[in-house]
Structure 1
Amino acid sequence: MNTSPALADRHGSPAAPQPSPHPGLARHPGFRRLFRPGALTVGLILPLETHPGRPAPTMEGHIEMAQRADRLGVGALWMRDIPFYDPHYGDVAQIFEPLVYIAHLAAVTRRIALGTTGIVLPTREPLMLAKQAASLDQLSGGRLVLGLSSGDRPSDYPMFGIDYESRGERYRDAYGVLRTLLEQRYPRYDSARFGHAGGLLDLVPRPAFGRIPAIAVGQSQQHLDWLARHMDGYLAFVPQPGELATLGRAWRAQVAAQHDTPVFKPLGIGGYFDLHEDPHHPFMRVPGGFRAGREGLRDYLEQAREAGVSHIALNPKVSRQPYAEILDQLADTILPAFPAHE
């Protein structure tokens, strides 16, 4: 019997099975648009406005800018979860509550994935979050990608009456309840923090494609092996170019160790991005992210793709150019080389 070339290596031996995502994610439009082995896509962390040195954007023209990003083929728009203005941090992201804002953007865009970087899970009630996420997934046609973080602002936690030091445990507890609600019909669970379900009630609506992608934003006070086992992917802080390969190997090794069969769980990176006027300016670290010219950015993304990174989420709010000019440069140089998956 002849071995199909697609199933054999160059020596004629059967090739190793290729990793694939969870069956529910293989059909999910948001996941499919952003994540594929061996490829890298580009997304934007909101607001779609540059405002270096100011805590809040104006949000003028944000709908038109989101629609333009959709038309240009940007992979995703990512919303941060910052409920309060803390002068110590001096940053309120896109101002609007992220899940409410996603619902608005879903109504005025067509293809672009809509994600969170990330919902501060320890401060959220997982029953309501499950209802919100399933509703958004239905209303957006399966474009929701749920990024979940543990939060890094101690000042927020007293406002919720939650002990900041408990956030790692609360994350695991809330995530277990969230997954159970979204993926089990008539769910059963027992949580000291988030209530009990005895299989008598069912969540409505259900996720549009059976599963909503849930990725860790940062390590969320968890060990990497826990993330590799339980989450659908991992979005890390942008590393130095020389650290990309190490990050990629570490994540793939953990995913392989936690599963009996090959599974694709994407690795992403994200942070602030300052577009330098010199197009060839190489990667240079800045607080919370990096600076590069458009060609320097392309070089970095090529290295990231080779290292196994599937997505980069850029936050250009610290750049000095108008946002429209940044989108023009991304459309000319970056997006054709790193297109979203249609």
Structure 2
Amino acid sequence: MNNLPTSFTNVFADNKLTLGLLTPLEAYPSSPFPTLNADIATAKQAEQAGIASIWFRDVPFYDPNFGDAAQMLDPFTYAGFIAAHTNTITLGTAGAVLPLRDPIMVAKQAASVDHLSNGRFVLGVSTGDRPVEYPAFGVDFNARAERYRESVEIIKTLHQQSFPKHLSQHYGELDGSLDLYPKPVNQQIPVMAVGRSRQSFEWLANNVNAWIWAVDNEQAISEIINNLSIASNSNTSPHYGYATFFDLDKNPDAPYQRFYNVVRIGRNALIERLLKHRELGVKHIALNLKPSQRAAQDVIDELGNFVIPALEKEQREPAV
């Protein structure tokens, strides 16, 4: 996990905690469908505010039982579009549903976005959270863990080797006569697991560069990070972060509250919570603004004016 590009290290770094946004970049608490009316302006605003990343979700279908269509657009297409309107912010998928996609095409799409963004791309990969999609693709839901592992191996092989040879169980064969272009800008694209994807700590610890889950319980965070460290075969283990549905209260002194999977909190309690999670080893938090009672632009302004500066101050001036 050495020599990773700045697209990754700007988001995941030792003794630092950063914030990212999950698409769509708007609040839409009363509808499963966003408007996407201000995505370019909001992406630029997020970059200017010091938000470290924008994560593009992969939701092929609208499932009424789930109640959220995400950003509706294909994540790689959307990431390429936003890349053209931003300069420094890291872009990534969170996550591409690998068992439902051909890994060769994912490797091609990821490398393409990496070039369009000048090396700012991180490939987040998952098995998805909507089992109903699997029959539509004719894919065995029970084979998703194996397909996921094979896909990660194929993608890395295509990105990092020339004219590779590779034989897989669920996909095709590379016999050394073909090579995938373009290669990543920085010789590799960091891979981030999104969700557990039915993988062991041992596999996660030794095959991905970072892991974003939904677990933000402080005791559980400590156990996860410790388990990753124990399972790693090298001196480093994947950086851990989590994603959460987020509602920043207008009252800066509002306490932490949780409503099922939604965190509602004022900025002062948020800063305290983030600093505590940083000390536990959390490196990144991806915020989903769908349930926000405030406009995304107002939330980003407050994060940029108060929360991110407080984190950066603490990170510049560690406690002695």
TM range (shorter): over 0.9
List runs of 5+ in structure 2 lacking aligned partners.
Answer: 316-320
Cα distance in 2 for partners of 1:215, 1:107 equals 23
Partner of 2:91: 114
Q: Does 1:228 align with 2:201?
A: no
Larger Rg computed on CA atoms: 1
Partner of 1:323: 296
- 328-337 vs 285-294, greater mean Cα deviation: 285-294
- Preserved CA contact (<8 Å) 1:238 1:289: no
Q: CA deviation at 1:264?
A: 5.0
Cα distance in 1 for partners of 2:256, 2:145 equals 32
Cα distance in 2 for partners of 1:200, 1:291 equals 54
Q: Does 1:335 align with 2:308?
A: yes
Q: CA deviation at 1:283?
A: 2.9
Q: CA deviation at 1:159?
A: 1.1
Cα distance in 1 for partners of 2:157, 2:130 equals 28
| Counterpart amino acid of residue 135 in structure 2 | P
Q: CA deviation at 1:268?
A: 1.1
Cα distance in 2 for partners of 1:279, 1:241 equals 22
Q: CA deviation at 1:306?
A: 0.2
Q: Deviations over 1:177-227 (max 9, x none)?
A: 111111111111011321111111111100100110101111111111111
How many residue pairs get aligned? The number is 314
% identical equivalent positions: 40
Q: Does 1:285 align with 2:258?
A: yes
Given the alignment, which residue of 219, 223, 244 partners 1:271? Answer: 244
Given the alignment, which residue of 129, 140, 158 partners 2:106? Answer: 129
Partner of 2:318: none
Q: CA deviation at 1:115?
A: 1.0
Cα distance in 2 for partners of 1:192, 1:134 equals 24
| Counterpart amino acid of residue 136 in structure 1 | V
Q: CA deviation at 1:282?
A: 3.1
Partner of 2:2: 22
Q: Deviations over 1:248-276 (max 9, x none)?
A: 32333333xx22xx125211111211212
Where does 1:1-342 land on structure 2 (aligned, <5 Å)?
21-23=1-3, 25=4, 28-255=5-232, 258-259=233-234, 262-339=235-312
Cα distance in 2 for partners of 1:289, 1:121 equals 27
RMSD, aligned CA? 1.7
- 230-239 vs 111-120, greater mean Cα deviation: 230-239
| Counterpart amino acid of residue 82 in structure 1 | V
Gap change, CA 1:289 and 1:229, over 3 Å in 2: farther
- Preserved CA contact (<8 Å) 1:233 1:266: yes
Q: CA deviation at 1:242?
A: 4.3
